[in-house]
A and B are shown apart, each in its own frame.
Chain A
Amino acid sequence: MALRVGIDLVSITSVQESLRLHATRYLQRVFTEAEVRDCQTDNGIDPERLATRFAAKEATLKVLRPSKDDAVPWNTIEVRRDPAGWVRLHLSGSAAALADSTGITELAVSLTREKDFASAVVIAECPIEIDATSR
């Protein structure tokens, strides 16, 4: 098996701008309902939590390696929070199909944030013969 890793860094300010400018449309297009619920606080939607989740989606895409003509909506990659505090990924639709086509069955994710930035790293195993091809 080969290992794939993806990492992404997101500006929390950029997420705040998206919320300010596009609010509900931004949330609906990028996040699942469950993700939005996980990001709710007593003070409203937490842009830091959204930013970590966006970073996780992008890091996942780097692992899945879609071609530039593959359509993978952001909400087909979902970050799910375990009651114990850690997170895991759930793929659906085109993201799941892409994972299937590359033989990826398990992904692991970790999130972090500090000041204006949020980051995520995702790793997965992939069959060597698939990793060696164009994807």
Chain B
Amino acid sequence: MTDEIRKIIEAHARLSVDVGTLSENDDLYQAGMTSHASVNVMLALEDHFDVEFPDSMLRRSVFESIAAIASALGELHPEPSA
């Protein structure tokens, strides 16, 4: 999942650095993602993973890192239990 998230960030976040240089916990806003770019990232994540972030998840903290995004997607799309 994190590879897919990285690709989406690379395509839409308009970072000032190469997304490949970021750790999963690096701050995407510090890396150059603007507020409007975060809108495009959100919509692209929704398209790709077929989810919708509810209003309660429209928080800066949800989109601030690859790990945070993965965690949020995990809440929206939990893995089926074995």
A residues whose Cβ falls under 8 Å from a Cβ of B? 8, 10-11, 14-15, 17-18, 21-22, 25-26, 29-30, 54, 58, 61, 66, 68-74, 93-94
Report how many residues on chain B are interfacial, defined by Cβ distance under 8 Å.
20
User: Once the chains are docked, how many angstroms separate the CA of A66 from the CA of B42?
Assistant: 19
CB distance from A119 to the nearest CB of B (A): 12
A interface majority secondary structure:
helix
User: Once the chains are docked, how many angstroms separate the CA of A18 from the CA of B39?
Assistant: 8
User: Once the chains are docked, how many angstroms separate the CA of A129 from the CA of B9?
Assistant: 40
User: A14 to B44, Cβ gap below 8 A?
Assistant: no
Taking a contact as CB atoms closer than 8 A, the residue among B36, B37, B47, B64 that contacts A68 in the complex is: B64
Given A69-B59, A71-B56, A72-B58, does the pair A26, B43 have CB atoms closer than 8 Å? Answer: yes
Contact residues of B between 14 and 66, Cβ < 8 Å to A: 14, 34-37, 39-40, 42-44, 46-47, 55-61, 64
Given A21-B43, A25-B43, A71-B57, does the pair A8, B35 have CB atoms closer than 8 Å? Answer: yes
User: B43 to A68, Cβ gap below 8 A?
Assistant: no
Contacts of B56 in A (CB 8 A): 71
Pairs A–B under 8 Å by Cβ, sample size 14? A14-B34, A14-B37, A25-B43, A25-B46, A26-B39, A29-B43, A54-B35, A70-B59, A71-B55, A71-B56, A72-B58, A73-B55, A74-B58, A94-B55
